[in-house]
């Protein structure tokens, strides 16, 4: 979730990111620094409220003059365009802006209190609100944006005279108003600021994200035959006229070019699928897969760290790993590239137009030349020159009547009649 929020910040055009964590959250610190190496991570030693949390990052605010926005690591569905809307409000229209939403059930939320002109005058936590204020349905998301020059002074004057004895970021609104500063509100859909505080809410947020991604894909010209069964990542890139069948999972880093078809029950991760290619059903594309135009990868085929050039085929029951398959090559059923010797991975090169017969094992490192024909059932461990025929089957040993004689002998041994 933190990664998603940080990515939203980056996509919104924010140049500097500071993350505030609680003591002992080393895993979160490590994750934040891995996502954005230039991030500043600060520890809020005591949990004394939202304003206190922001002040934990006061070092990041030193000599800071740009606009600032406060986001939350448990609110992963916020859109970059919403962040830009609230930042764009700063300047002539507002010195401080708050992101709000109309809640179906406002219970538990802070309320945005406005005057007759709709101007924001205060944010009231529910425990501190009057009965009349609790009837307000315009609620506080927690997202605040400030003109940078005002932020430190506003934060340092926030007190803790409230029911919880905490330093509320929301009190900045009334302080700003008292200073004659302008305040504003941007309203977004409630689901966009959905907070995640349990596994149930995490599943609800994921479902909302999937619905959003599916809708965006279909609006961009992608056909999802059963949208509710397709799972996407925020970085999934699907071209126009791509068709995705039922029960397909896209992991991170997948691009599918226009006209391709991803058939049912396939799983793709860090893979590129070329134009008019067909993948599946029941195919798995692992990281490093590069499929060219019109490639066919069929049922129960696994491809990993391999390139398959235009028009090549592996239609069923095949493993292609650490390999390059040339254009128009055909990989027969049951073929495997034996890429791992127990210590290192090795490459397999299959030339253009090669025909690899069914149930073949290619022991890497190995190079199969252009146009080679490999007989079914072969095990190859040496390079094969272009246009050769190679077969490594053992000689046929046929013994007529052997099976009948053996059955008779064994039945007699058990005391049974023939």
User: Could you tell me if 300 and 320 are in contact, meaning their C-beta atoms sit under 8 angstroms apart?
Assistant: no
User: Could you tell me if 377 and 361 are in contact, meaning their C-beta atoms sit under 8 angstroms apart?
Assistant: no
123 forms bridges with which residues in the sheet?
Answer: 112
Residue 346 annotated in active site: no
Dmax over Cα atoms in the chain, in whole Å?
109
Structure tokens at 302: 């696994």
Structure tokens at 8: 């939203």
Q: Dihedral sign, CA of 51, 52, 57, 58? A: positive
Helix (H, G, I), strand (E, B) or coil at 229: helix
Helices 2-11, 80-89: crossing angle, 10 deg rounding: 50
Q: Dihedral sign, CA of 190, 192, 193, 197? A: positive
Q: How far apart are the C-alpha atoms of 288 and 409, rounded to whole Å?
A: 56
Q: How far apart are the C-alpha atoms of 219 and 213, rounded to whole Å?
A: 10
CB count, 10 Å around CB of 16?
14
Q: How far apart are the C-alpha atoms of 150 and 96, rounded to whole Å?
A: 9
Query: What does the buried/exposed string (b/e) look like for 49-86 if buried means 16 or more CB atoms within 10 Å of the residue's CB?
Result: bbbbbbbbbeebbeeeeebbbbbbbebbbbeeebbebb
Strands (E), 192-232: 223-224
From the list 156, 186, 180, the residue with the least C-alpha distance to 169 is 156
From the list 361, 353, 364, the residue with the least C-alpha distance to 388 is 353
Catalytic residue chosen out of the listed positions 267, 272, 316, 324: 316
From the list 106, 90, 6, the residue with the least C-alpha distance to 98 is 90
Q: How far apart are the C-alpha atoms of 75 and 202, rounded to whole Å?
A: 10
User: Could you tell me if 200 and 99 are in contact, meaning their C-beta atoms sit under 8 angstroms apart?
Assistant: no
For the annotated catalytic residues, the residue numbers are 316
């Amino acid at each position: 979730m933190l990664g998603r929020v940080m990515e939203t910040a980056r996509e919104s055009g924010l140049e500097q990111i500071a993350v505030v964590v609680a003591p002992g959250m080393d895993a979160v610190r490590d994750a934040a620094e891995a996502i954005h190496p230039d991030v500043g991570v600060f520890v809020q030693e005591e949990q004394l409220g939202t304003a206190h949390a922001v002040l934990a990052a006061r070092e990041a605010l030193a000599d800071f003059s740009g606009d600032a926005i406060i986001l939350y690591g448990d609110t992963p569905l916020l859109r970059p365009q919403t962040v830009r809307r609230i930042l764009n409000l700063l300047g002539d229209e507002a010195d401080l802006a708050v992101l709000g939403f109309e809640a179906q059930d406002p219970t538990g939320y802070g309320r945005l209190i406005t005057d007759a002109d709709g101007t924001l005058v205060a944010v009231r936590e529910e425990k501190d609100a009057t009965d009349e204020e609790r009837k307000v349905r315009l609620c506080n998301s927690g997202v605040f944006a400030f003109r940078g020059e005002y932020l430190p002074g506003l934060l340092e004057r926030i007190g803790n005279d409230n029911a919880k004895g905490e330093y509320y970021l929301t009190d900045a609104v009334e302080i700003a108003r008292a200073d004659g500063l302008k305040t504003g509100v941007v309203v977004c859909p409630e689901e966009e600021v959905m907070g995640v505080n349990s596994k149930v809410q995490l599943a609800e947020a994921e479902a909302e994200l999937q619905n959003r991604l599916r809708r965006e894909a279909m609006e961009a010209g992608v056909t999802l035959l059963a949208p509710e069964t397709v799972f996407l990542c925020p970085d999934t890139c699907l071209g126009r006229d791509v068709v995705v069948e039922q029960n397909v999972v896209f992991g991170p880093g997948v691009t599918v070019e226009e006209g391709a078809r991803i058939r049912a029950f396939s799983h793709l991760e860090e893979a590129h699928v070329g134009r008019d290619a067909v993948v599946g059903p029941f195919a798995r594309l692992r990281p490093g897969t590069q499929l060219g135009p019109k490639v066919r990868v069929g049922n129960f085929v696994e491809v990993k760290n391999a390139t398959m050039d235009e028009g090549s085929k592996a239609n069923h029951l095949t493993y292609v790993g650490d390999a390059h398959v040339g254009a128009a090559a055909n990989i027969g059923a049951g073929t495997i590239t034996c890429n791992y010797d127990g210590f290192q991975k090795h490459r397999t090169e299959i030339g253009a137009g090669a025909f690899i017969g069914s149930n073949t094992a290619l022991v890497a490192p190995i190079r199969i030349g252009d146009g080679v024909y490999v007989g079914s059932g072969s095990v190859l461990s040496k390079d094969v020159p272009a246009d050769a025929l190679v077969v490594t089957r053992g000689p046929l040993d046929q013994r007529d009547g052997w099976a009948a004689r053996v059955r008779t002998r064994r039945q007699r041994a058990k005391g049974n009649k023939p």
